[in-house]
Amino acid sequence: MPTNTAAWLVTEKASFLEVKQADYTSPSDNEIVVKNHAVALNIVDFARQFMGNALFPWDKYPCILGSDVAGEVQEVGTSVKNFKVGDRVLGMAVGLKTGRPADAAFQAYTVLPAHMASSIPSSVSFEDAAVIPLAISTAACGMYQKEYLALQHPTAPRRQDTGETILIWGGASSVGTNAIQMAIASGYDVISTASPKNWDYVQKLGVNLVFDYHSDTVVSDIVKAFDGKKSAGALSIGQGATSICAEIVSKIGGKQFVASASPLPPQLPEGVASKFIFGSDLKDNEVGPAIYVDFIPAALKDGSFVPSPPSRVVGKGLEDIQKGLNELTKGVSAEKLVVTLE
Ligand SMILES: NC(=O)c1ccc[n+]([C@@H]2O[C@H](COP(=O)([O-])OP(=O)(O)OC[C@H]3O[C@@H](n4cnc5c(N)ncnc54)[C@H](OP(=O)(O)O)[C@@H]3O)[C@@H](O)[C@H]2O)c1
């Protein structure tokens, strides 16, 4: 049995992760074990570290953080048909949802539900693949779950045009760049917001129109841009964005719903509904396999979906994860911080 090591958050709000031994857990029937080559860092990781149980009351200590892994399949459960030992994969580590240390990302070996893992082609590096999981999952939860925007699922090659347009606020974020690409693959046009320095980038990903969210006229500009278009609703990414998206949605007609990656504002315009996204909910419904089994492998292979935003490697080895998390607290723009492990 392989020897496992993890970056442990030993006590609530401990200021550094301790690298030490962890149990190696074999997969159950529908799981795989991945030997991690790269892990990506997310805001929720340092938030869990520094806010402790105020954020997720169910976190127990010691615990292991992290959601994004890419690596090689080490072991497969008896019912798993689509992976074999040695396959190159990315996957969403669901430890935040299950509470089991074996399911978290920041360790040498992670157990993944097989339906939350995707094969990656040889053209995609582990560093680039690791940027995808939590961001695409969060976007997918807001866009495809039935009690959220309930859009058509994405396909590769892309679906026929639906004739509808979605507002994706925060298009240069990790969640936003993944949302844009999936919306296009699902047959929707996209209106988005980003700082002007990122306009070229989000337009290359497929955005039809992009606006500077710092502008005083952004609301009226977007309302005008929706003139003559049918709205599929909005995906809100960024602190404070949900009330702005709700105002826009209330003025443009179409689907009166804002899927929100941030906590909801106290009030919404009459007739507009909104729901906070929990980015790992897709593990337990039809959206998880639709994204990880059906969409990602095909879309990465035919190049219609690219890992986004670009990875920036900030360290090598579990010891460097804390350094990377400290760096992430300073904020990033259209990039994802990654630590390589192999
Ligand atoms: N609920 C969940 O399950 C869940 C899961 C993951 C993330 N999130 C949340 O989703 C948000 C994005 O996460 P991420 O990892 O994708 O972030 P990220 O990549 O670190 O986001 C940075 C980017 O966000 C853009 N941005 C920041 N504030 C904005 C605002 N008010 N309006 C528009 N754009 C804004 C910036 O764009 P410019 O550089 O162009 O200015 C920047 O490039 C965070 O608030 C995070 O906490 C929620």
Residue-wise pLDDT for 213-240, tens only, equals 999 999 999 999 999 999 999 999 999 9
| C-alpha torsion sign, points 134, 38, 110, 118 | positive
Asked if residue 211 has its Cβ within 6 Å of ligand 1, the reply is no
Asked if residue 63 has its Cβ within 6 Å of ligand 1, the reply is no
Residue 290 DSSP label: I
Q: Is 13 helix (H, G, I), strand (E, B) or coil?
A: coil
Between β-strands 31-40 and 18-22, what pairing exists: parallel, antiparallel or unpaired? unpaired
Q: Do residues 87 and 173 both lie within one domain?
A: no
Alpha-carbon Rg for the chain in angstroms: 19
Nearest residue by C-alpha to atom 37 in ligand 1: 172
Count of structural domains, the chain: 2
Indicate which CATH number applies to the domain containing 192: 3.40.50.720
Residue 108 DSSP label: S
Q: In what order do the strands lie in the sheet with 209-211?
A: 209-211, 189-193, 164-169, 230-236, 257-260, 273-276
Asked if residue 145 has its Cβ within 6 Å of ligand 1, the reply is no
pLDDT for the residue numbered 211: 98
Instruction: Return the best residue to mutate from 45, 173, 275 for the ligand 1 pocket (most ligand atoms within 8 A of CB).
Output: 173
Between β-strands 311-316 and 336-340, what pairing exists: parallel, antiparallel or unpaired? parallel
Secondary structure of 319-334 in the HEC alphabet?
HHHHHHHHHHCCCCCC
pLDDT for the residue numbered 342: 83
What are the two backbone dihedrals, phi and then psi, of residue 162, each rounded to the nearest 5 degrees?
-85, -15
Q: Do residues 155 and 183 both lie within one domain?
A: yes
Instruction: Return the best residue to mutate from 41, 42, 43, 51 for the ligand 1 pocket (most ligand atoms within 8 A of CB).
Output: 43
Q: Do residues 150 and 112 both lie within one domain?
A: no
Asked if residue 239 has its Cβ within 6 Å of ligand 1, the reply is yes
Distance (Å, whole) CA 239 – CA 260: 10
Asked if residue 142 has its Cβ within 6 Å of ligand 1, the reply is no
Question: Which residues of the chain are under the pLDDT cut of 70?
Answer: none
Q: Do residues 104 and 142 both lie within one domain?
A: no
Tokens of residue 208, six digits: 């039809």
- 93 within domain boundaries: yes
Asked if residue 218 has its Cβ within 6 Å of ligand 1, the reply is no
5 touches 310 (CB < 8 A): no
Asked if residue 262 has its Cβ within 6 Å of ligand 1, the reply is yes
Ligand 1 nearest atom to the CA of residue 280, by list position? 3
Q: Which amino acid is at 109?
A: Y
- 302 within domain boundaries: no
Task: Using the mean position of ligand 1's atoms as its centre, give its distance from the Cα of residue 176 in Å.
Answer: 7
Q: Angle formed by the axes of helices 218-225 and 241-252, to 10°?
A: 40
Distance (Å, whole) CA 79 – CA 76: 8
- 209 within domain boundaries: yes
Q: Do residues 155 and 261 both lie within one domain?
A: yes
Query: What range does the domain containing 33 cover?
Result: 4-131+310-340
pLDDT for the residue numbered 28: 98
Q: Which of 276, 299, 321 is the last residue of a domain?
A: 276
Asked if residue 171 has its Cβ within 6 Å of ligand 1, the reply is no
How many Cα atoms occupy the beta-carbon half-sphere of 218 within 13 Å?
A: 20
Per-residue pLDDT tens over the stretch 69-122: 999 999 999 999 999 999 999 999 999 999 999 999 999 999 999 999 999 999
Indicate which CATH number applies to the domain containing 42: 3.90.180.10
Beta strands in 129-261 (DSSP E): 164-169, 189-193, 209-211, 230-236, 257-260
First to last CA, the chain: 18
Distance (Å, whole) CA 216 – CA 79: 55
pLDDT for the residue numbered 180: 98
Nearest residue by C-alpha to atom 15 in ligand 1: 174
Asked if residue 300 has its Cβ within 6 Å of ligand 1, the reply is no
Q: Do residues 33 and 100 both lie within one domain?
A: yes
- 293 within domain boundaries: no
- 283 within domain boundaries: no
Q: Do residues 120 and 142 both lie within one domain?
A: no
Q: Which amino acid is at 77?
A: G
Instruction: Return the best residue to mutate from 177, 236, 237, 276 for the ligand 1 pocket (most ligand atoms within 8 A of CB).
Output: 237
Q: Do residues 30 and 84 both lie within one domain?
A: yes
Distance (Å, whole) CA 256 – CA 97: 29
49 touches 65 (CB < 8 A): yes
- 289 within domain boundaries: no
Tokens of residue 198, six digits: 């990122």
Nearest residue by C-alpha to atom 47 in ligand 1: 43
Q: Do residues 142 and 242 both lie within one domain?
A: yes
